[in-house]
Structure 1
Amino acid sequence: MVKIALSVDNHFDVNRVDGFEMLKKQAAYLVEHDYQIYVNAGDTYNDFTKSLAYFRALQAEVGSAVTIRFLAGNHDMVNGATYDEIQSAVDPLYLHEKILPVPSTNAVIIGNNGWYDYSLGQLGNMKTDAEYAQWKRAFWIDSAIDAPVTDAARMQRVLTTTKAALQANQTHQMIYVTHFVPIREAMVYTVDRPPWQMATALMGSAKLGDLLTGRVSAVVFGHEHFRDAPKLLSGTTYYHQPLGYGLKRLFEWQSQDWWTEWRQTLVTLTVPTLS
């Protein structure tokens, strides 16, 4: 069996945690618990260059014992990278639009940052795309992200590259890792929080879930800071276990420390080796 660990929404800087100190404990934990692959699905730092430096340091710490890969969430994209850089093969550890074969198995891990197209928005067609985009520019952190194309176009690239990856690997067991929400079943809607009703449009895309459900064995994602039990949809299991924020003004944890939360939200997948 090959043991895979996956995590998302670690938010070191927002949580005021020294990731470069914490990675020593993380590395030891991964090695001691016999994980062979660790994939992080984004929102590590509010700066892509810091996230990249952190994962390079983590890979150096674990050496050849664990393969490290990561994606960029919207927070990683706020500083330190252009749109073209985010879409490029900027580093071997960066899994966006790449395939990672799981050694000695018939499985592959498909990585894609993902994005959103407003299709998960609570208000649906009550708001136009222009109104959602205007609200984002005025109130959402993503307004700082380099965006030479529309959200719809950016999401279409996700769907196009994902479809190609699924077709190219259809004879394999496929595990799909992304940052943004791909299914409506994971969404939390409210009647008394108008800002959140608008923000739900920026959580992900139902079209991605339509593409994945029934075709891949597992999907791991985050972005929306609500934890769910695994959801089985037509043979595809969706894992949504973001670490999130441990701030006085926004406390989303079940314990009092980052280290406990990382271990408790770590998703573990096992893949049988070929006989």
Structure 2
Amino acid sequence: MKIGVISDLHIDRSKRYTPEDFERHLCNSVQSQRIDILLIAGDISNNYQLSAQFITTIKTKLQITVLFVPGNHDFWTQSGDLASLEILDYYMAMQECLIGQPYIVNDEWAIVGNTGWYDYSYADSRFSLERIEQRKYIGATWQDKERINWPIHDRKMSDIAVRQITKDIQQVADKKLILMTHIVTHNNFAVPMPHRIFDYFNAFIGTSDFDQIYDRYPIHYSIMGHVHFRNHFEEQGTTYICPCLGYERQWRTTDLAREITQSLYTFNI
């Protein structure tokens, strides 16, 4: 069985392509590679209805299993929108969302997923907790501060995510596991330090809370997004994959079809 994974499509951020273009090119790439299950690791768009519609549309077009976890951008709110926790409930009501709904592939494999959340542990140690909580540095603001209205502290959100994924894993503990998050769970994918601004903003890239998951459970593949890197590596029996498309200005070319194909990572189980 062939699994395809991609993240950080940001279908509403391109100046050159429409969301429908992203749908078409992603479907073409998935079909040409004969993928059986497509996994999307969040940041589809900045609007929960658009993100949900994108998932529904590509699933209908592809006629294969499509599963996702929302990213931080998928929780962004505007005036008149649902609150961020209500948006979480909206996603969890979708059968394609992995949060609270482990997916059993077959007798041997299962897929579990959660957005995860950042716990500030990836920031340079010279920044105090109080300084990080400002979420502003050198004139830049981490936009989740303005666009997400969790009633819970970020570090508590990370802890809740670990508790939820642990509960989900326990439902399929007899399987080999594919874990998908949006937030980075391995510091190899953090922006290398020293860095002019990411010594600070790495605080909002990843979490160390998931370390215990890798220690306790048979995670064979770990998929994540968020940081807009494309890379993969193997460590202690786990293949870590970051298959981000990213913003148009970060692409290597101006060709959406080519960029999606290059971002889409596949493996066989």
TM-score (norm 2): 0.89
Q: Matched residues in 2 for 1:192 and 1:108: separation?
A: 38
Report what 1:262 is aligned to: 260
Q: Which moved more, 1:51-60 or 1:132-141?
A: 132-141
Q: Matched residues in 2 for 1:269 and 1:130: separation?
A: 42
- Once the two structures are TM-superposed, the CA of residue 204 in structure 1 deviates from its matched residue by 1.4
1:212 to 205, 211, 214: 214
Report what 1:87 is aligned to: 88
Spell out structure 1 runs of 4+ moving beyond 4 A: none
Alignment of 1:1-150 (within 5 A): 2-16=1-15, 17-63=17-63, 66-79=64-77, 80-88=81-89, 89-102=92-105, 104-121=106-123, 123-124=124-125, 126-136=126-136, 139-143=141-145, 144-150=147-153
Secondary structure, counterpart of 2:210 in structure 1: helix
| Residue pair 2:11, 2:22 contacting (<8 A) in 1 also | no
| Residue pair 2:99, 2:114 contacting (<8 A) in 1 also | yes
Q: Matched residues in 2 for 1:28 and 1:192: separation?
A: 38
Report what 1:171 is aligned to: 174
Report what 1:253 is aligned to: 251
Letter in 1 for 2:256: W
Q: Matched residues in 2 for 1:107 and 1:136: separation?
A: 42
User: 1:211 and 1:178, CA in 2 relative to 1: closer, same or farther beyond 3 A?
Assistant: same
- Once the two structures are TM-superposed, the CA of residue 207 in structure 1 deviates from its matched residue by 2.0
Q: Matched residues in 2 for 1:112 and 1:240: separation?
A: 15
Computed over aligned residues only, the root mean square deviation of the Cα atoms, in angstroms, reads 2.0
Q: Matched residues in 2 for 1:27 and 1:207: separation?
A: 34
Q: Matched residues in 2 for 1:101 and 1:180: separation?
A: 23
Letter in 2 for 1:60: T
Secondary structure, counterpart of 1:76 in structure 2: helix
Q: Matched residues in 2 for 1:223 and 1:197: separation?
A: 16
Q: Which moved more, 1:76-85 or 1:230-239?
A: 76-85
- Once the two structures are TM-superposed, the CA of residue 185 in structure 1 deviates from its matched residue by 2.0
Letter in 1 for 2:224: F
Q: Matched residues in 2 for 1:136 and 1:73: separation?
A: 21
Secondary structure, counterpart of 2:248 in structure 1: coil
Alignment of 1:152-163 (within 5 A): 152-163=155-166
Aligned residue-pair number:
259
- Once the two structures are TM-superposed, the CA of residue 23 in structure 1 deviates from its matched residue by 1.4
- Once the two structures are TM-superposed, the CA of residue 131 in structure 1 deviates from its matched residue by 1.7
| Residue pair 1:120, 1:200 contacting (<8 A) in 2 also | yes
Report what 2:227 is aligned to: 224
- Once the two structures are TM-superposed, the CA of residue 136 in structure 1 deviates from its matched residue by 5.0
- Once the two structures are TM-superposed, the CA of residue 190 in structure 1 deviates from its matched residue by 3.3
- Once the two structures are TM-superposed, the CA of residue 81 in structure 1 deviates from its matched residue by 4.3
Q: Matched residues in 1 for 2:245 and 2:71: separation?
A: 13
Letter in 1 for 2:14: N
| Residue pair 2:25, 2:260 contacting (<8 A) in 1 also | no
Q: Which moved more, 1:74-83 or 1:149-158?
A: 74-83
| Residue pair 2:5, 2:243 contacting (<8 A) in 1 also | no
Q: Matched residues in 2 for 1:168 and 1:140: separation?
A: 35
Instruction: Map Cα deviations across residues 204-261 of structure 1 (whole Å, 9 max, x no partner).
Output: 1022134225620000111112222x222211110112111222xxxx2222222211
